[in-house]
Amino acid sequence: MALEIARSVDELRRLVESARRNGLTIGLVPTMGALHEGHASLIRAARGETGWVIVSIFVNPTQFGPNEDYQRYPRTWEQDLAVCQANGADLVFAPPVKEVFPPGYSTFVEVTKLQDPLCGGSRPGHFRGVATVVLKLFNMTTPDRAYFGQKDAQQARIIRQLVRDLNLPVTIRVCPIVREPDGLALSSRNRYLSPEDRHSATVLYRALETARRMIESGERNAACIRERMLAMIQSTPRAVAEYVDIVDYETMQPVANVQSGILIALAVKFGATRLIDNFLWHGESTG
């Protein structure tokens, strides 16, 4: 089937209605474009579980801070369409900004508490923008299932809470982090890195692997693990740690001792480029 493209909510709704009339379940993969293998893995997951797959491509201005990279965020439309096509999407929904946030727009949704720590600390208002646009995308596309990446662990946690709190009739799927062979998590922002910084950027994964090994060999003191990770970052050229945190994945609050269900998450800057990564510790049984 040919890939369809909708630019307006009206067009989108017509196409969604016709898919529903054909008895198809609807899968949604929300993205900001600049698609890579991480996004592709979500599209394939949706393809495998739902009858009609929508990929939204929308660089959401409300989730960028005033000094962030909204203007220079990569926009790679032709390549994005090829990724959608190759991975079995049925529809690309790519609205202009004024279709989603027309002049006079004034409603926002906030997932309190969960939005404040980690990335919320350095990006105030970021998760308010994310939660608002995701809720709008859900209302526009009415998906049965929506697909997110564990790469953005706090975002995934916040979306689950949004769905629970507002009784949204959608099942959230969270898919594993897709990495480069050297461990760097795929990100649309990796293309900003100079060759030297690209080399140094493996420190995020190396620090997480060090944490994993420490935990596996019995270390339970979160402060010790954190210090070791920070030291690795400090000794890497041009790497500046924004945060390294060990939190309860349910509450997003720091823990003193490692227990099952904790998230180890970090954000590291290389010049203006900010990278994030994380791992979820489920406890001894799953390793």
Residues at the interface with ligand PAJ (CB under 6 A): 30-32, 38-39, 41-42, 60, 63, 130, 133-134, 148-149, 151-152, 155, 175, 177-178, 185-188
Instruction: Give least dist CB 93 to ligand PAJ, A.
Output: 11
Instruction: Give least dist CB 23 to ligand PAJ, A.
Output: 27
Query: Under DSSP, is residue 226 helix (H, G, I), strand (E, B) or coil?
Result: helix
Residue from 39, 126, 199, 282 carrying the catalytic annotation: 39
Question: How crowded is the C-beta side of 75, counted as CA atoms within 13 Å?
Answer: 10
Q: Which is nearer to ligand PAJ, 181 or 218 (CB)?
A: 181
Q: Which is nearer to ligand PAJ, 137 or 222 (CB)?
A: 137
Q: Which is nearer to ligand PAJ, 20 or 198 (CB)?
A: 198
Nearest alpha carbon to residue 172 among 180, 163, 184, 181: 163
Task: Measure the CA–CA gap between 127 and 130, rounded to whole angstroms.
Answer: 5
Query: Under DSSP, is residue 241 helix (H, G, I), strand (E, B) or coil?
Result: strand
Q: Is 39 a catalytic residue?
A: yes
Task: Measure the CA–CA gap between 49 and 29, rounded to whole angstroms.
Answer: 12
User: Using CA of residue 31, residue 37, residue 41, residue 43, what is the dihedral sign?
Assistant: positive
Instruction: Give least dist CB 172 to ligand PAJ, A.
Output: 10
Instruction: Give least dist CB 140 to ligand PAJ, A.
Output: 13
Nearest alpha carbon to residue 207 among 264, 270, 126, 157: 264
Query: Under DSSP, is residue 159 helix (H, G, I), strand (E, B) or coil?
Result: helix
Q: Which is nearer to ligand PAJ, 70 or 219 (CB)?
A: 70
C-beta neighbour count of 284 within 10 angstroms: 9
DSSP string, 7-68: -SHHHHHHHHHHHHHTT--EEEEEE-S---HHHHHHHHHHHHH-SEEEEEE---GGGS-TTS
Q: Which is nearer to ligand PAJ, 23 or 102 (CB)?
A: 102
Instruction: Give least dist CB 34 to ligand PAJ, A.
Output: 7
Look up residue 148 and give its DSSP letter. Answer: E
* Cβ atoms 157, 249 nearer than 8 A: yes
What CA–CA distances, in Å, run from 172 to 42, 147, 216, 243, 275?
A: 12, 6, 30, 27, 24
Q: Which is nearer to ligand PAJ, 151 or 226 (CB)?
A: 151
Instruction: Give least dist CB 164 to ligand PAJ, A.
Output: 17
Would you please indicate which residues are annotated as catalytic (active-site) residues?
Answer: 39
